[in-house]
Amino acid sequence: MKTKKVDVKSVLTKSNLPVSDYSVNPYIGCSHGCKYCYASFMKRFTNHPEPWGSFVDVKYWPAIRHPEKYSGKELFLGSVTDPYQDAEEQHGRTRALLEEMKGSGCKISIATKSDLVLRDIDLIKTFPDARVSWSINTLDESFRKDMDNAVSIERRLAAMKAFHNAGIRTTCFISPIFPGITDVKSIILRVKEQCNLIWLENLNLRGGFKKTILDYINEKHPELNGLYDEIYNRGNRHYWKVLDAEIREFTEKEGLQYLRNDDSMKRPFSEPPVVVNYFFHEEVRKNNRKT
């Protein structure tokens, strides 16, 4: 892993995401090396020749002046990196940011695949309406190992449970859903007692990793070649429409509220959890442009 320190003018970036006012990424790059990572596009702006997942730049920024001006604003930690990847244990840049913003009145949402976030649970509790989400798209550890270098699924689930028990809002981000591989229903059953929101997102294949994933399917799951060709080369959305209907019926039987394309990351504390379908990204983008 190639690691270097970089100076930046600010770690807070105005966000275009519907779930936050500011994006916060204390690192550039990510050691998890997820094969499907949309953030791999960051290589275009960093002059890194190394493969995605083999480098991490550690950000250092000037002290944040007047953090209280962010009172009521939502900060999303981890839009294009994991704020609790391995580098955080040594460099502590995510914790440094949280310590700077403590008492400012800002809200925080954290997205991670790590259980290192447990280190900061007492600090995170000081923020109003804090939310922590873990990406879990399989309960099969062998498939997980094929896809990323993050901690095991069981460690993620244990961290989620600890935060939920501590009264902090938790999200299970079932993403990306691999057609024919991800068992959405099993994951929902596994997490429904220890999270407040379950967010579903389909696998989108864009850029350089499309070939990587399709080659993986051809090698490990050749029986799915036809399905992936229909979805990702021919643009057929039938699979997602059928899955949408199945999950709606399933969640109704489980007594869970099911929504589509809803801005639910900002919804209040909820038990049992709300399940949100975020399959049709282009519809969300159109709606956001209208508003």
| Ordered per-residue pLDDT tens for the chain, 291 residues | 899 999 999 999 999 877 799 999 999 999 999 999 876 666 666 777 787 778 999 999 999 999 999 999 999 999 999 999 999 999 999 999 999 999 999 999 999 999 999 999 999 999 999 999 999 999 999 999 999 999 999 999 999 999 999 999 999 999 999 999 999 999 999 999 999 999 999 999 977 789 999 999 999 999 999 999 999 999 999 999 999 999 999 999 999 999 876 555 555 555 688 999 888 654 544 444 333
What DSSP state is assigned to residue 80?
Answer: S
CA distances from 51 to 34, 72, 114 (A): 11, 38, 21
- The candidate with the shortest Cα–Cα distance to 261, out of 230, 231, 291, is 291
Where in the sequence is the domain holding 147, given as residue range(s)?
130-204+237-291
Contacts of 97 (CB under 8 A, 6+ apart): 11, 24, 26, 77
Asked whether residue 137 falls in the same domain as residue 281, the answer is: yes
Identify whether residues 242 and 265 lie together within a single domain: yes
Residue after which a domain boundary falls, among 93, 119, 145: 119
DSSP letters spanning 3-19: EEEEE-S-SEEE--STT
Task: Assess if residue 16 is contained within a domain.
Answer: yes
pTM value? Answer: 0.91
In a domain, 143, yes or no: yes
Structural domain contains residue 140: yes
- 234: CB partners within 8 A, 6+ apart: none
Q: Is residue 185 part of a domain?
A: yes
Phi, psi of 126 (to 5 degrees): -75, -10
- Do 149 and 286 lie in a common domain? yes
> Is there a single domain that holds both residue 140 and residue 250?
yes
Q: Do both 51 and 185 map to the same domain?
A: no
Task: Answer for the pair 200, 275: CB distance below 8 angstroms, yes or no.
Answer: yes
- Same domain, yes or no, for 69 and 193? no
192 and 91 within one domain: no
Asked if residue 272 belongs to a domain, the reply is: yes
The answer to the question of residue 213 being in a domain is no
Q: Hey, which residues does 111 pair with through a beta bridge? A: 133
Same domain, yes or no: 115 and 136 = no
Q: Are residues 168 and 36 in the same domain?
A: no
Q: Which of 290, 212, 201, 284 is nearest to 18 (CA)?
A: 284
Residue 98 shares a structural domain with residue 158: no
Q: For the segment 244-256, what is each residue's pLDDT rounded down to a tens digit? A: 999 999 999 999 9
- Residue 196 domain-assigned? yes
Same-domain pairing of 181 and 45: no
> How far is Cα 60 from Cα 18, in angstroms, rounded to an integer?
27
266 shares its domain with 154: yes
Question: Considering the domain boundaries, does residue 5 fall inside one?
Answer: yes
Total structural domains within the chain: 2
pLDDT of residue 269: 58
Q: How many CA atoms lie within 13 A of 270 on its CB side?
A: 19
